[in-house]
Amino acid sequence: MAEEIVNRVAKSPLVTIYLEDYFPTNPRMEIDIKNWLFEGIILKEKDFRAYLEEHNWEQYQDAFVSIFCSEDAIIPTWAYMLVATKVTPFAKKVMKGNKQDLENAIFQEIINNLDYSTFEGKPVIIKGCASKPIPENVYVHLIEKLQPVAKSIMFGEACSTVPLYKKKK
């Protein structure tokens, strides 16, 4: 009689976190202020405000939006704030920075809002291979949140993990 194969991973208390499961599908969009500068480098308030009034803000509906300036121009803080007042009624999230800053901010919010009680006293695996672009900074932020509650933290796949942390007894 053949011995039954037991899936020990499935029966273990291991909890696996797949960060890509939390990946929001909302579009990511950028607003480059340089397009509204005189000769690409000078902000003229009257012209800038006119450009903002003419711009189609509805295109940012439910999008994650970053506001930046790709030119080496001096942009006053109020200019970014003014753009934010126009796009905020439409966008899901608005921030100043580049695409990478935006992805970090999106995931930072997700990590901050997770319910960590489900990981209390359990061994946790953070899955490493993702088909979606998860910023590396997010993994570090996740450790910061998990370490106080998890029994242990590993990275990778259940069959080959890298141990990262084990709570002292």
135-164 pLDDT tens trace: 889 999 999 999 999 999 999 887 788 999
The model's pTM is: 0.79
Which is nearest to 102 in space by CA: 18, 26, 20? 26
Q: Where are the beta strands (DSSP E) in 2-52?
A: 15-17, 28-32
SS3 content of the chain, % helix, strand, coil (to 5): 40, 20, 40
Q: How far is the CA of 5 from the CAs of 2, 8, 9, 10, in angstroms?
A: 9, 9, 12, 12
**Rounded-to-integer distance, Cα 34 and Cα 74, Å:** 11
**Rounded-to-integer distance, Cα 165 and Cα 18, Å:** 18
Name residue 163's beta-bridge partners.
Answer: 154
87-127 pLDDT tens trace: 999 999 999 999 999 999 999 999 999 999 999 999 999 99
Q: How far is the CA of 153 from the CAs of 64, 68, 142, 149, 167, in angstroms?
A: 31, 37, 10, 10, 9
Kind and range of the H or E run holding 162: strand 160-166
Q: Are 66 and 27 in contact (CB under 8 A)?
A: no
Give residues with Cβ within 8 angstroms of 23, minimum separation 6: 130, 132, 134
pLDDT confidence of residue 70: 95
Domain limits of the chain? 8-24+104-166, 28-91
